[in-house]
């Protein structure tokens, strides 16, 4: 990684492995993007680009390659920043003021040419990863209030003259991360959410662009980016066509539809980061880059163990067996069974609080229900610990049921409008977490709960979206403050309890995003644990997120599954569970000895493979989106071993003419040996492949290959 500044050319270059990013100050003092893509050789390589951009503000040539678009004259693309100054003026002229290079970070300060408003653009690099993060810090030095009508994280410009295909991931509850692709013609495609929070339940704040849709999993250039934000976002992908050129750009950040941010005199607003990356060999390599970034740069570290690189414990979770219908006897009876099958972490899901035997009560009153649990939470925690397991519980801190002591005491604590009915979803209302006092209260009860119950693990859930948030609240920036305070709580938990494992759950995958990832050790991928559907879900999920985080209440799911009542053999369910952070949701109190032994064997096999599976890249060799089967290759990051997963369902005779499945990402010169004794070089595995005999329904197969000396 190298960040340089050439004072003669006023040129900034960020060289990040196989990606280079460059921009310069033009004759008018404005920042103009010059390059994002494969590396350049020298500053001289920029000379043509520089002369192209030399004249700008007078409307000639290129006025729309702004590095942080502010509505420069004759630039009609979506701006990254819009303001209202105290005197009502709404135009900006941001010019270069200074810059600072501090090892891996470049900060460029821009200032308005008239009003005392400053914008610091921050560029962070991550060793040699072809990826940078961008954010902006906007400071109001005017004597009165400035309204940020829009304060996006960044604008990025794509190579010119190209027809682009946009890829993003979207879906709904139980059907998250569906890959969606569209051609970007002249105009704008806007990916945005306005639910207040849990954006990823609908659209993951991510985009990828490839030229004319020509890139594949293995080939072609992919330009991609993602917001590190869990709240409402906006990603504007735009192509402007003029007589001279087709020019595409992306401007992304907090959604200005649900937020206007007031900045008092002297105040600053820091945007979330937008990561921007470049793959020179397809979407599969894009995933490798995103994985390296997660493993080595953003996942929480812990104190005793390096949590980012450590394996995730096998969980036994009480949700699927009994949902809310739990009591002390059942929970204690589970403990020896969970231990027997090899679970390492015992989790009590929803239903443990006072009156919480259904979804109508209990949220807000974070005390154990003494009627159903006469000896308290600590008693169950101690029993789990005595059995040699870790212990965790479920909470939903942002919510309250109207039938709760908390709501009766503080009806003013919820998000609402004075003259509107408070709409319920799952019989619950949302606490106004934009308020610092409510945030402090939350931190206080969470701290006590974690300490008193000796928790090793906390599953943070969030099960509804906002309503009745009117403009008066938007004006006071509630949407942004809400997310900042959620982040503040997670940060606090990480700092105060560095080895506590935190699961990020929002009705399944509602918060599967890079905003939550720096604080979370596990992500609920989806409430849909039906392993046939998981073939689809996991493709999208594993494109973006490391699989060791992929959880859920029981990804070794009960059968029939509660989402679609499908009955699936245990072996298939177990193999599916191995592809993520394993959690068992089978009702062990109803399992016979054969099932318990089968689970025990499966968990034990998983534990042997786990260090490699959870430190692996995932290659999607055959897609369930295109076939009635799915083949995944988990390759340990040091390339010393890989595990092949194959799942098939609903195979026809026609499907039996299967291709050989060519592996990826291996050391071509190494010899790999499989569990069944086959030996092949990496070159042969990649160039000739492996044949699989998949058939019928519920076919599943795993095989591990290791390098021999």
CB of 425 to ligand DGJ, least distance (A): 13
Which positions from 376 to 415 touch ligand DGJ by CB under 6 A, shown as an x/- string? ------------------x---------------------
Question: Nearer Cβ to ligand DGJ, position 134 or 525?
Answer: 525
Pairwise CA distance, residues 118 & 578, whole Å: 50
Write out the two tokens for 328: 């002390």
CB of 463 to ligand DGJ, least distance (A): 5
CB of 378 to ligand DGJ, least distance (A): 22
Write out the two tokens for 604: 């034990």
Region 500-539 residues binding ligand DGJ, contact defined as CB under 6 A = 505, 507-508, 524, 527
- Establish if 553 lies at the interface with ligand DGJ (CB under 6 A): yes
Question: Nearer Cβ to ligand DGJ, position 135 or 504?
Answer: 504
Asked if residue 651 has a cis previous peptide bond (ω within 30° of 0), the answer is no
CB of 201 to ligand DGJ, least distance (A): 10
* Coil, helix or strand at residue 251: strand
Pairwise CA distance, residues 58 & 68, whole Å: 18
Number of Cβ within 10 Å of residue 666's Cβ equals 24
CB 203 within 8 A of CB 170: yes
Region 646-675 residues binding ligand DGJ, contact defined as CB under 6 A = none
Question: Nearer Cβ to ligand DGJ, position 398 or 527?
Answer: 527
Question: Nearer Cβ to ligand DGJ, position 68 or 394?
Answer: 394
**φ, ψ for residue 250, nearest 5 deg:** -130, 130
How many residues of this chain bind ligand DGJ (CB under 6 A)?
12
Say which DSSP state 387 is in: T
* Coil, helix or strand at residue 684: helix
- Establish if 31 lies at the interface with ligand DGJ (CB under 6 A): no
Question: Nearer Cβ to ligand DGJ, position 17 or 174?
Answer: 174
Question: Nearer Cβ to ligand DGJ, position 122 or 204?
Answer: 204
Pairwise CA distance, residues 631 & 624, whole Å: 8
- Establish if 238 lies at the interface with ligand DGJ (CB under 6 A): no
CB of 308 to ligand DGJ, least distance (A): 24
- Establish if 16 lies at the interface with ligand DGJ (CB under 6 A): no
CB of 392 to ligand DGJ, least distance (A): 12
585-622 per-residue burial string, b: 16 or more CB within 10 A, e: under 16: bbbbeebeeeeeebbeebbebbeebbebbbbbbbbbbb
CB of 681 to ligand DGJ, least distance (A): 44
CB 187 within 8 A of CB 241: no
Residue nearest ligand DGJ, Cβ-based: 350
Pairwise CA distance, residues 336 & 288, whole Å: 40
Tell which phi-psi region holds residue 613, choosing left (phi > 0), alpha (psi between -120 and 50) or beta: alpha
CB of 369 to ligand DGJ, least distance (A): 15
Pairwise CA distance, residues 302 & 313, whole Å: 15
Region 615-644 residues binding ligand DGJ, contact defined as CB under 6 A = none
Pairwise CA distance, residues 134 & 120, whole Å: 10
Pairwise CA distance, residues 698 & 709, whole Å: 36
* Angle, CA 145 vertex, CA 139 and CA 151 arms, to 5°: 50
Say which DSSP state 39 is in: P
Question: Nearer Cβ to ligand DGJ, position 552 or 682?
Answer: 552
Between strands 19-25 and 31-37, the pairing is: antiparallel
Radius of gyration of the chain (CA): 26
Q: Which of 256, 461, 513, 539 binds ligand DGJ (CB under 6 A)?
A: 461
Sign of the alpha-carbon dihedral angle for 52, 58, 63, 67 = positive
Say which DSSP state 297 is in: I
Question: Nearer Cβ to ligand DGJ, position 346 or 661?
Answer: 346
Question: Nearer Cβ to ligand DGJ, position 197 or 463?
Answer: 463
CB of 361 to ligand DGJ, least distance (A): 13
Tell which phi-psi region holds residue 459, choosing left (phi > 0), alpha (psi between -120 and 50) or beta: beta
CB of 647 to ligand DGJ, least distance (A): 23
- Report which of 168, 169, 109 is spatially closest to residue 141, judged by C-alpha positions: 109
- Report which of 632, 580, 575 is spatially closest to residue 605, judged by C-alpha positions: 575
Region 193-212 residues binding ligand DGJ, contact defined as CB under 6 A = none
CB of 397 to ligand DGJ, least distance (A): 13
- Establish if 350 lies at the interface with ligand DGJ (CB under 6 A): yes
Q: Which of 112, 349, 533, 539 binds ligand DGJ (CB under 6 A)?
A: 349
Number of Cβ within 10 Å of residue 441's Cβ equals 16
Q: Which of 273, 463, 467, 494 binds ligand DGJ (CB under 6 A)?
A: 463
CB of 394 to ligand DGJ, least distance (A): 5
Write out the two tokens for 661: 């499945």
Question: Nearer Cβ to ligand DGJ, position 34 or 505?
Answer: 505
Question: Nearer Cβ to ligand DGJ, position 64 or 404?
Answer: 404
Q: Which of 23, 126, 206, 319 binds ligand DGJ (CB under 6 A)?
A: 319
Question: Nearer Cβ to ligand DGJ, position 283 or 319?
Answer: 319
- Report which of 545, 539, 558 is spatially closest to residue 645, judged by C-alpha positions: 539
CB of 511 to ligand DGJ, least distance (A): 10
- Report which of 320, 368, 318 is spatially closest to residue 338, judged by C-alpha positions: 318
CB of 502 to ligand DGJ, least distance (A): 14
CB of 351 to ligand DGJ, least distance (A): 8
Question: Nearer Cβ to ligand DGJ, position 512 or 553?
Answer: 553
Region 109-168 residues binding ligand DGJ, contact defined as CB under 6 A = none
Question: Nearer Cβ to ligand DGJ, position 238 or 350?
Answer: 350
Question: Nearer Cβ to ligand DGJ, position 106 or 326?
Answer: 326
Number of Cβ within 10 Å of residue 137's Cβ equals 16
DSSP letters spanning 163-177: -EEEEEEEEETTEEE
Residues near ligand DGJ (CB under 6 A) are 319, 349-350, 394, 461, 463, 505, 507-508, 524, 527, 553
């Amino acid at each position: 990684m190298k960040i340089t500044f050439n004072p003669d050319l006023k040129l900034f270059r960020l060289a990040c492995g196989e990606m280079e990013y460059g921009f310069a100050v033009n004759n008018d003092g404005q920042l103009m993007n010059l390059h994002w893509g494969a590396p350049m050789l020298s500053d001289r390589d920029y000379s043509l680009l520089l002369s192209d951009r030399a004249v700008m503000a007078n409307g000639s040539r290129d006025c729309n390659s702004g590095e942080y678009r502010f509505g420069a004259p004759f630039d009609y693309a979506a701006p990254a920043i819009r303001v209202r100054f105290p005197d009502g003026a709404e135009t900006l002229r941001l010019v270069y003021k200074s810059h600072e290079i501090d090892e891996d970070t470049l900060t460029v300060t821009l200032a308005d040419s008239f009003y005392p408003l400053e914008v610091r653009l921050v560029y962070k690099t991550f060793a040699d990863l072809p990826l940078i993060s961008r954010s902006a810090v906007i400071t109001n030095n005017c004597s009165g209030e400035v309204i940020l009508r829009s304060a996006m994280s960044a604008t990025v410009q794509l190579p010119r003259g190209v027809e682009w295909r946009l890829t993003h991931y979207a879906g709904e509850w139980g059907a998250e991360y569906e890959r969606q692709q569209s051609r970007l013609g002249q105009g704008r495609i806007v990916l945005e959410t306005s639910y207040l929070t849990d954006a990823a339940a609908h659209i993951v704040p991510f985009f990828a662009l490839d030229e004319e849709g020509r890139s594949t999993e293995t080939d072609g250039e992919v330009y991609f980016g993602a917001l590190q934000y869990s709240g409402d976002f906006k990603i504007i992908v735009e192509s402007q066509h003029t007589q001279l050129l087709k020019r595409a750009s992306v401007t992304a950040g907090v959604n200005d539809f649900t937020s206007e941010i007031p900045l008092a005199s002297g105040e600053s607003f820091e945007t979330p980061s937008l990561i921007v990356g470049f793959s020179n060999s397809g979407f599969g390599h894009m995933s490798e880059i995103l994985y390296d970034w997660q493993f080595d740069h953003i996942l929480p570290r812990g104190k005793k163990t390096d949590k980012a690189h450590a394996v995730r414990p096998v969980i036994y979770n009480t949700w699927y067996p009994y949902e809310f219908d739990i009591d002390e006897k059942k929970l204690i009876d589970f403990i020896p069974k969970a231990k027997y099958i090899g679970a390492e972490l015992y989790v009590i899901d929803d239903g443990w609080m006072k009156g919480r035997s259904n979804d109508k009560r209990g949220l807000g009153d974070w005390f154990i229900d003494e009627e159903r649990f006469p000896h308290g939470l600590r008693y169950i925690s101690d029993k789990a610990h005595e059995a040699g397991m870790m212990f965790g519980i479920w909470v939903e801190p942002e919510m309250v049921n109207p039938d709760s002591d908390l709501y009766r005491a503080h009806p003013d604590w919820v998000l609402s409008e004075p003259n509107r009915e408070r709409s319920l979803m799952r019989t619950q209302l949302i606490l106004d977490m934009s308020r610092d006092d409510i945030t402090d209260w939350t931190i206080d009860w969470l701290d006590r709960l974690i300490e008193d119950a000796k928790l090793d693990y906390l599953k943070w859930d969030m099960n509804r979206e906002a309503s009745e948030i009117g403009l008066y609240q938007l004006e006071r920036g509630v949407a942004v403050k809400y997310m900042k305070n959620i982040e503040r709580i997670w940060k606090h938990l990480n700092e105060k309890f560095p080895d506590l494992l935190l699961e990020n759950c929002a009705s399944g995958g509602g918060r599967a995003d890079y905003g939550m990832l720096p604080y979370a050790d596990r992500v609920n991928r989806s409430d849909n644990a039906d392993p046939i559907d998981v073939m689809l879900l996991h493709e999208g999920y594993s494109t973006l997120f490391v699989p060791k985080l992929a959880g859920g209440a029981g990804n070794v799911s009960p059968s029939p599954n509660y989402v679609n009542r499908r009955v699936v053999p245990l072996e298939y369910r177990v193999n599916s569970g191995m592809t993520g952070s394993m959690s068992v949701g089978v009702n062990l109190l109803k399992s016979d000895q054969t099932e318990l032994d089968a689970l025990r064997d499966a968990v034990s096999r998983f534990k042997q493979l786990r260090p490699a599976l959870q430190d692996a890249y995932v290659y999607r060799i055959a897609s369930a989106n295109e076939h009635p089967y799915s083949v995944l290759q988990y390759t340990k990051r040091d390339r010393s071993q890989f595990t092949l997963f194959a799942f098939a369902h609903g195979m026809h005779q026609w499907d039996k003419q299967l291709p050989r499945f060519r592996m990826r990402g291996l050391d071509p010169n190494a010899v790999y040996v499989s569990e069944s004794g086959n030996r092949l070089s990496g070159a042969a595995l990649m160039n000739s492949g492996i044949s699989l005999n998949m058939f019928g329904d519920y076919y599943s197969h795993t095989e591990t290959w290791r390098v021999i000396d």
